[in-house]
């Protein structure tokens, strides 16, 4: 059976993930690769519906465990409906966020525990972990500055968390790098777009 490559991109708000995934996907497609660009939470109708519930600024009463379960539910549907079929067809899948977002945001920053959040996700993903995760590292202040300057970007419920929460998210990602050094590759996302792109492209090219 043909087997694709499942690659995820992670990092705090405004690190530049979406911008760089757009560039990678379009350049890889020009080179003749079959590429699927997608995102979490979302990427397919049911998961986009769950996304709108999770990220709605008016849902101020959302319990942290409910939040973690909704992300895991969206993840399951997205994997089953979109990612697995594309893997079977041999696509390179570039996914904007995956399980590490749940481990960093819900597990570490919200304080639910990395192991606990991993365990609910393990039911959802059935062992389907990415082959490579590009972690875009940036100081939260710099990332938030970028999104504040990005006119037209909708501000969501998670963006409105205090700065301390965003620092914890970054700390969570740095812990995940220690836990999964063979899978997670750190990109310095504080540089220019060209500098960040070069780092991401050269790591990606090592595995495709
Ligand atoms: N290296 C960079 N230098 C300066 N600006 C950048 C850089 N990368 C991205 N940006 C700009 O920062 C803003 C946020 O970028 P982007 O949406 O790609 O980040 P993101 O990591 O996907 O954010 P989020 O996860 O919060 O949606 C955009 O306006 C983008 O043009
Ligand atoms: C998958 C996932 C995401 N999040 C958070 C991270 C962001 O604040 C939003 C998604 O917004 P983006 O503009 O698409 O980056 O959701 C999370 O907390 N847990 C997760 O598993």
**Top mutation candidate among 73, 101, 138 for ligand 2, by most atoms within 8 Å of CB:** 101
Segment 124-145, tens digit of pLDDT:
999 999 999 999 999 999 999 9
Angle at 60 between CA 57 and CA 61, to 5 degrees: 150
Looking at residue 2, what is its pLDDT? 58
Looking at residue 1, what is its pLDDT? 46
Continuous H helices in 38-189: 45-55, 64-78, 84-88, 99-101, 114-125, 140-149, 163-179
Looking at residue 155, what is its pLDDT? 87
CB of residue 193 inside a 6 A radius of ligand 1: yes
ipTM above 0.85, yes or no: yes
Q: Residue 144 maps to which CATH number?
A: 3.40.50.300
Instruction: Provide the domain count of the chain.
Output: 1
> Which residue range is the domain that position 31 belongs to?
5-207
Looking at residue 8, what is its pLDDT? 98
CB of residue 137 inside a 6 A radius of ligand 1: no
Q: Are 98 and 17 in contact (CB under 8 A)?
A: no
Q: Is the pTM of this model over 0.95?
A: yes
**Is 14 among the annotated ligand-binding positions?**
yes
Cα(74) to centroid(ligand 2), Å:
11
Which regions of the chain are under pLDDT 50?
1
Q: Are 24 and 201 in contact (CB under 8 A)?
A: yes
């Amino acid at each position: 059976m043909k087997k694709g490559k499942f690659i995820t991109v992670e990092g705090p708000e405004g690190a530049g993930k979406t911008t760089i995934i757009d560039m990678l996907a379009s350049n890889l497609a020009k080179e003749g690769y079959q590429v699927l660009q997608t995102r979490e939470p979302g990427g397919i109708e049911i998961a986009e519906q769950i996304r709108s519930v999770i990220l709605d600024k008016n849902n101020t009463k959302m319990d942290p465990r409910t939040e973690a379960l909704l992300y895991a539910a969206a993840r399951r549907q997205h994997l089953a409906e979109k990612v697995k079929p594309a893997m079977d067809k041999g696509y390179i899948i570039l996914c904007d966020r995956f399980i590490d977002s749940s481990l960093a945001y819900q597990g570490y920053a919200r304080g639910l525990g990395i192991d606990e959040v991993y365990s609910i996700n393990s039911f959802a993903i059935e062992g389907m972990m990415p082959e490579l995760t590009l972690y875009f590292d940036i100081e939260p202040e710099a990332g938030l500055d970028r999104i504040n300057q990005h006119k037209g970007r909708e501000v969501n419920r998670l963006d409105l968390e205090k700065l301390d929460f965003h620092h914890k998210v970054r700390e969570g990602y740095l812990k995940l790098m220690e836990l999964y050094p063979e899978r997670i590759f750190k990109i310095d996302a504080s540089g220019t777009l060209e500098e960040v792109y070069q780092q991401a492209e050269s790591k990606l090219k090592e595995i495709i």
